[in-house]
Amino acid sequence: MLTGSSGKVPDGTGEEPHAVLLRSHKLKTEEVASSVRAIARCGAGTNNIPIDEMTKRGIPVFNTPGANANSVKELALCGLFLAARGVVEGINHVNNVILKEETEHKTINARVEKDKSKFAGGEIQGKTLAVLGLGNIGAMVAESAIALGMNVVGFDPKISVDAAWRLPSEVKKMSSLTEAFAAADYVSINMPYIKGVTHHIIGEEVISVMKPNCSIINFARAEIVDGAALKKMYDAGHTGKYVCDFPDEYLTGHKNFLCIPHLGASTDEAEDNCAKMAADQILNFLETGTIKNSVNFPAAQLDRQEAENARLCIVNLNKPGILGTITTLLGSLNLNIAQQLNTSRDEIAYNVVDLQDFPEGDAATDVQQKLLALDGVLSTRIIWTGSVQEGPSSFMTKA
């Protein structure tokens, strides 16, 4: 198994990896060895992984939602306070202006008192925060904002049942981004970046309804916000601030832009939590075939009945007739199915099949090869008594 922050895959020397764990490394398809059964991102975002290519190879990609939620929530609250008060601007003024123009302690104190009015801000209590994206992080931001005395509205068209149950009842649901922005004094962006879906979803049409001093806090992804449209609004006199965990090519250096160097999940606690969660999910998948928190495969869990049964995990295209073809082939090979699970997500179907008296060695390889020859089957994997068997016959893929 590969671990480490770089995410780089071994160059073929030594033992071949069964899984890839990575954080921010931009993973290339050619880096993923043919022996790799699964990939896990130690974090929520997976835009640094070629998911479509991995799906075609029958490889699930996992992430770790919620493992770094508290770390990001705390920094989002920090961003909220920085937007409300002229803290950064005041510090910069003291260091870059006052301390250069005044040399005596007495005159420095006097100048600080004189200039502090330049950085007067406002309190967040009683103001309205719009939370966009109500998953683990968004729900925690909403809960903390309510505790600070804010009114909270939320928008999330894809909210899950579990997330809805976790959400504080005080959060008022909005029907659109535009409605949420129109109501807000502050906006916290906590939605995922999905190419072609949320790219620049916060654009000219949405931000045009903002209050004249509404501020945006973005600790999700820079690409969600159209920086050019936001700059145009600021240059026209909008007084809100944009606090972001990423640089923006249009707003860098702008007086309304506060750029934080991607610190959202960069705490020791968050990195440990993400790594542990990713490793646990990978191990569970390798040892039992269980899938939890995959971004491209369906959730799946099948409890074992008897340890001596072999477990066959099959990934195939989600098309009519393929499951029947698979079970027919297993029956023709005199393999008795003790229990099975079939589930699907989008174009992928995933099967976990427990088989009695499953052959080992070359006979097992022959079964996998016959399955892989079926039209629509992408990969197969055999698990014996809860652990992955060593050797080339345990995992096969068409790619």
Q: Is 115 part of any domain? A: no
Tokens (6 digits) for 216: 């945006």
**d(Cα 137, Cα 143) in Å, to the nearest integer?**
10
Residues 397 and 332 in one domain: yes
Residues 74 and 202 in one domain: yes
Residues 237 and 286 in one domain: no
Q: Is 92 part of any domain? A: no
Q: Is 363 part of any domain? A: yes
Per-residue pLDDT of the chain (399 residues; tens, 9 = 90+): 343 333 344 444 456 899 999 988 999 999 999 999 999 999 888 989 999 999 999 999 999 988 989 999 999 999 999 999 999 999 999 999 999 999 899 999 999 999 999 998 999 999 999 999 999 899 999 999 999 999 999 999 988 887 888 899 999 999 999 999 999 999 999 998 888 899 999 999 999 999 999 999 999 999 999 999 999 999 999 999 999 999 999 999 999 999 999 888 888 999 999 999 999 999 999 999 999 999 999 999 999 886 678 999 999 999 999 999 999 999 999 999 999 999 999 999 999 999 988 888 888 999 999 999 999 999 999 997 644 444 334 777 775
**d(Cα 76, Cα 91) in Å, to the nearest integer?**
20
Last residue of a domain, one of 259, 274, 289: 259
Q: Which residues of 329-363 are buried (b: 16+ CB within 10 A; e: fewer)?
A: bbeeeebeebebbbbbbeebbbbbbbbeebbeeee
Last residue of a domain, one of 236, 259, 282: 259
Q: Is 174 part of any domain? A: yes
**d(Cα 182, Cα 214) in Å, to the nearest integer?**
9
DSSP state of 202: B
Residues 145 and 231 in one domain: yes
Give the count of domains, the chain: 3
Residues 153 and 284 in one domain: no
Work out whether strand 310-317 and strand 336-345 pair parallel, antiparallel, or are unpaired: unpaired
Q: Is 101 part of any domain? A: no
Distance between first and last Cα of the chain: 20
Residues 231 and 277 in one domain: no
Check: CB of residue 246 under 8 Å from CB of residue 222. Answer: yes
> Residue 246's pLDDT is what?
93
Residues 384 and 254 in one domain: no
> Residue 5's pLDDT is what?
36
> At 36, which CATH number?
3.40.50.720
Q: Range of 391's domain?
A: 303-399
Residues 208 and 196 in one domain: yes
Residues 271 and 366 in one domain: no
**d(Cα 92, Cα 84) in Å, to the nearest integer?**
16
Total-model pTM: 0.74
Residues 187 and 284 in one domain: no
Check: CB of residue 380 under 8 Å from CB of residue 358. Answer: no
Total length of the chain: 399
Q: Is 270 part of any domain? A: yes
Q: Is 314 part of any domain? A: yes
Q: Is 34 part of any domain? A: yes
Residues 242 and 141 in one domain: yes
Residues 198 and 243 in one domain: yes
